[in-house]
Copies of this chain bind each other. A is one copy, B any other.
């Protein structure tokens, strides 16, 4: 039982019976390996169920929602199993609970605590394929939980880890992890390989291809995660693996765009000692995740008390707008500025070396193209800048071009240089 293969097929891969048939053929091609398949709900089932729930309650209970949403995967595992059986493979479907996936009780965003891998191993004795419902698990006291959007990726990698599989194939509807969103930037190309850390950074910066938590788990348990295309299964896709296993490390591997970025700046009123706490409390209450805070102080009597600047990502614009209006009212003596129609464009690289240099190049590129950079931040693996929403895709395209992300090699700087810089 050493070469178990773990595969995952997303919602678009199992959108209808025809597609599930196709998925079954891909699974059959893994024979004679024992296969564990994780599937998502069919197409837009999850959205449909959420919509039903919203018709019942504007504030649906998350525990109930999990019970509702988990039915989506329960349907697709059965349909896939039935088709596999018809095609002559012995298959059995398991819910998250039946597959022994224990989670925390944070409904809607539960984390996998443990997988009783013996349950699946037992089924693999008598079955070619075990089909497991992604995205779901069960708490210690029998409550059904979901892992949050993209959770099926996490289920798959966690199962691969628990079953000591060396690889986990995540089937999606594109050829792998791209250097940029191929729907927007035609020049974007799929990467043959990428390090875990770079992939996590890309995913967290707005790239949609795989859930970052899944990649982190892969890194933690040394599982090579391969992103492949259901509709082009002969393509080898992108291998996500350890930095040292990546053969041809590129200094820059991709550019990603993240929407719903905002920025608020407030001049400190004289006697507002709790300003920062008040601001963050106010913002977090409207679904905002704070990404960066900057505070300047000029504490001289008679002069204003400096400014607080907060960069954040929001979910619903109208909520943030309301919060900003409230703040303007409350601090009517101060100057409150905000910009809500921003995007974050992030260039992801393989090392922090040379990032200052790269930041200069990036700013230069954007300025040449008359794209105003509202803010810029460089971290270990990435350089991010905030730009107007309307300019974001243009910015990404220019960066993609400037840093020659489509080319197989770094033509601007050799790997040796980047390592020793």
Where the two chains meet, the residues of A that have a C-beta atom closer than 8 Å to any C-beta of B are 17, 20, 49, 52-53, 55-58, 60-61, 63-65, 67-68, 70-71, 74-75, 77-79, 81-83, 85-86, 92-93, 95, 97-98, 142-144
Contact = CB atoms under 8 A, between A and B. Distances in A.
Contacts of A78: 53, 64-65, 67-68
A143 B56 CA distance: 30
A56 B142 contact: no
A86 B59 CA distance: 8
Contact of A79 (B17, B53, B75): B53
Nearest to A131: B64
A261 to B, nearest CB: 33
A271 to B, nearest CB: 43
B77 A57 contact: no
Contacts of A52: 17, 75, 79
A140 B55 CA distance: 36
B64 A81 contact: yes
A68 B57 contact: no
A280 B67 CA distance: 46
B64 A93 contact: yes
- Tell me which of A17, A82, A144 has the highest count of chain B C-beta atoms within 10 A of its own C-beta: A82
Nearest to A24: B56
A75 B71 contact: yes
A95 B67 contact: yes
Contacts of A83: 56-57
A121 B57 CA distance: 26
A168 B53 CA distance: 28
A224 B78 CA distance: 38
A56 B20 contact: yes
30 contacts: A17-B52, A17-B55, A20-B56, A49-B75, A52-B75, A52-B79, A53-B79, A53-B82, A56-B79, A56-B82, A56-B86, A57-B83, A57-B86, A60-B82, A61-B81, A63-B92, A64-B81, A64-B92, A65-B78, A67-B77, A67-B78, A67-B95, A68-B74, A68-B75, A68-B79, A71-B71, A71-B75, A95-B144, A97-B142, A98-B142
Contacts of A144: 95
A78 B77 CA distance: 21
Given A61-B85, A95-B144, 15 more contacts: A17-B52, A53-B82, A56-B79, A56-B83, A57-B85, A60-B82, A61-B81, A64-B92, A64-B93, A67-B95, A68-B79, A71-B71, A71-B74, A71-B75, A98-B143
A17 to B, nearest CB: 5
A98 B63 CA distance: 13
Contacts of A77: 67
A291 B58 CA distance: 54
Contacts of A75: 49, 52, 68, 71
A64 B241 CA distance: 36
A142 B308 CA distance: 56
A257 B404 CA distance: 79
A93 B67 contact: yes
A23 to B, nearest CB: 12
Nearest to A65: B78
A64 B49 contact: no
Contacts of A82: 53, 56-57, 60-61, 64
Nearest to A21: B56
Contacts of A60: 82
A67 B65 CA distance: 19
Contacts of A85: 57, 61, 64
A55 to B, nearest CB: 5
A17 B49 CA distance: 12
Question: Which 4 pairs of residues, A with B, have the shortest CB-CB distance?
Answer: A56-B82, A71-B71, A68-B78, A57-B82
Contacts of A74: 67-68, 70-71, 74
A38 to B, nearest CB: 16
